Structure 1
């Protein structure tokens, strides 16, 4: 049995030799840090073999092994080292091939998920993350294309809707300037019409500004506790004059009212858009009903009209920017922004808005969480 002191000496010199090899190997790895994994694995395998051989040489000299025993040990260790190097090369090539597969998949098409191949665990996890990133990227690309389509439609509609009132304003201004009209009644009528058209253009510009804030994510909400009954009452009060002028019966009711944490001004605008939109598309002697209630842990406001319904194919696009369908579902017949603004405001409150055909018309429903 080897004495304990001799054993400590062997361990010390063997560790020292292995440490020297490790320092050199780390230097080589640092120099090759930009090379492939296969090359670095070969360096690790070589360093392992050299560390083992150096330790054996130290032990053999300390223990005064004869040349025959030393040769046998070195031959065995060298053979094992060559096998280890071969395995390292194969493993490195497999890792490089798997990595190349992922790189080629990303380079070929950034919107195509990586191939479903059997990969090492770490690369398989990377592949799953790439697939998830692909899904997010594809969804973002679809949203971007939808927004671009909406933007083009919006530009076309706004250009059309601005051209008509501007042409009227120019004609009336030129008539007044050239004194083509001189009687007081006609002049007053022109002044009144100019005021109406200017107000209409102002509302359109306000809608465009509001929609741009929503799409840019710049809509800042000043939340406060507001009674559901107050929101419904304000929406009804703001549309009473229009309903009375058109002969539409307007009724508001809150079956159960709890305070909601919302921006009263912004949400009030969304509800007014829905109510005014319903009135404009309800024939005379028809009815529009606004109901507020708490159901399923949510505050819900429904606006039901008697417009005759919306074609089923158009329902999914009712809230799109500038969508008009067979009849414009937008307040004032403007640029088709009213419902898009209502959806943006509701979604900014972490709520949902939807529409469905119901009875003699449509039912718009706004759902808001009681707490945010």
Structure 2
């Protein structure tokens, strides 16, 4: 029967052998720090096997066994160690190696812009990682598509804004040259036209500045309790001359009695842009209807409907984008389309108020609706 000192000697011998093999394994792992995952795992497995072999041989030597028994034992543990290490290497190469190669290939495909499908190349952790890569590739593809659309819209927007600025500038240059040369047939009319073009360009620059503050998040609203009818009256008075020139009448329905917390200046501008859009596309001698009601969730819904043909269904989600312009369905012979900023500014102002805007075809024409909260949240922001 083993005594306590014998057991202590066995434990100490095994601990020393294991510590030496572990130190050797750490050194080899550092030397092979840039090696494959399979080689790193094989080194760890080899260290575990070698520590057992070394401990067994060392303890047997301390037991003073015969040379014959020692030889048999060494052959047994030696063959077992070699076979175990070989099996470990093959297993790691076939499982871990295959999984790693699959992940490397997936990463390369993501870099090339491919969209991956979830796969199970090997071990559970690698399968989960591959699933995450597949999900990331889908999100990246969607992001790239959105960036491409935004880039195309940006290029188109700059082309349009350049045209819209160049055209009045060219006209103003020609008229100023005529005035300078003294060949203008009607000097006062030329001056009035130049002033009108300057006002148009000033409005366009103001729209660009407004849009930049909305998109950068630097717009600071100053909400107060306002009467909706007052805001609409101010917006209608501004657009009335353009509407009267085309025989378009603006009527109100259900607007009285509504109040909400809003920035009166910004919200009036948004309503004015919506009315200007309606007047621009409404048929001559038609009617624009402004209506309002409170929804079940205590939001105010303000709608502006004209009797125009509206935009194509596929453009309903794009008409509030920066630079978007109406297609032929909304084209009229009256005025210009502008730089495609008006509705984008409306969406920015409405969203800054915590609301939403959408467009829809109705039996009598085309309607733009704005949904706005009527109260201020506890944190001071606009909300329910």
* 2:231–2:267 CA contact under 8 A, matched in 1: no
1:355 CA displacement: 0.6
The residue that corresponds to 1:146 in the other structure is 149
1:285-319 per-residue CA deviation (whole Å, 9 max, x = no partner) reads 51230425344465543322232433334434322
* 1:243–1:279 CA contact under 8 A, matched in 2: no
Tell whether 2:239 aligns with 1:242. Answer: yes
Q: Which is further off, 63-72 or 120-129?
A: 63-72
The residue that corresponds to 1:12 in the other structure is 12
1:97 CA displacement: 2.1
1:128 CA displacement: 1.9
The SS at the match of 1:13 is helix
1:325-347 per-residue CA deviation (whole Å, 9 max, x = no partner) reads 02259996311221123234444
1:106 CA displacement: 2.8
TM-score, structure 2 as length reference: 0.82
* 1:352–1:367 CA contact under 8 A, matched in 2: yes
The SS at the match of 1:363 is strand
The SS at the match of 2:367 is strand
The SS at the match of 1:322 is coil
Structure 1 residues 234 and 83, CA gap change in structure 2 (3 angstroms): farther
Aligned residue runs from structure 1 range 215-254, under 5 A: 217-227=215-225, 229-230=226-227, 233-243=230-240, 245-247=242-244, 248-251=249-252, 253=255
* 2:301–2:370 CA contact under 8 A, matched in 1: yes
The residue that corresponds to 1:133 in the other structure is 136
Unaligned runs of 5+ in 2: 374-381
Q: How many residues align?
A: 364
Structure 1 residues 37 and 271, CA gap change in structure 2 (3 angstroms): same
Structure 1 residues 90 and 352, CA gap change in structure 2 (3 angstroms): farther
Instruction: Tell me how far apart the structure 2 counterparts of residues 165 and 81 of structure 1 sit (CA, whole Å).
Output: 88
Q: Which is further off, 350-359 or 18-27?
A: 350-359
Instruction: Tell me how far apart the structure 2 counterparts of residues 269 and 303 of structure 1 sit (CA, whole Å).
Output: 14
Structure 1 residues 84 and 240, CA gap change in structure 2 (3 angstroms): farther
The residue that corresponds to 1:188 in the other structure is 188
The SS at the match of 1:356 is strand
Aligned residue runs from structure 1 range 57-136, under 5 A: 57-93=57-93, 94-110=95-111, 111-118=113-120, 119-136=122-139
1:30 CA displacement: 1.0
1:188 CA displacement: 2.8
Unaligned runs of 5+ in 1: none
Instruction: Tell me how far apart the structure 2 counterparts of residues 349 and 19 of structure 1 sit (CA, whole Å).
Output: 68
The residue that corresponds to 2:358 in the other structure is 354
The SS at the match of 2:369 is strand
CA RMSD of aligned residues (A): 3.0
The residue that corresponds to 2:376 in the other structure is none
Q: Which is further off, 17-26 or 135-144?
A: 135-144
1:206-234 per-residue CA deviation (whole Å, 9 max, x = no partner) reads 323444555xx52323245444x546642
1:254 CA displacement: 6.3
Tell whether 2:31 aligns with 1:31. Answer: yes
Structure 1 residues 348 and 259, CA gap change in structure 2 (3 angstroms): closer
Structure 1 residues 78 and 296, CA gap change in structure 2 (3 angstroms): farther
The residue that corresponds to 1:319 in the other structure is 320
Q: Which is further off, 66-75 or 164-173?
A: 66-75
1:53-108 per-residue CA deviation (whole Å, 9 max, x = no partner) reads 11112211333333344344433433432343233213332222222222223324
Structure 1 residues 225 and 322, CA gap change in structure 2 (3 angstroms): closer
1:359 CA displacement: 3.0
1:133-192 per-residue CA deviation (whole Å, 9 max, x = no partner) reads 21221111111111122123223322332233122211221122112237xxx3333222
The residue that corresponds to 1:305 in the other structure is 306
Structure 1 residues 76 and 296, CA gap change in structure 2 (3 angstroms): farther
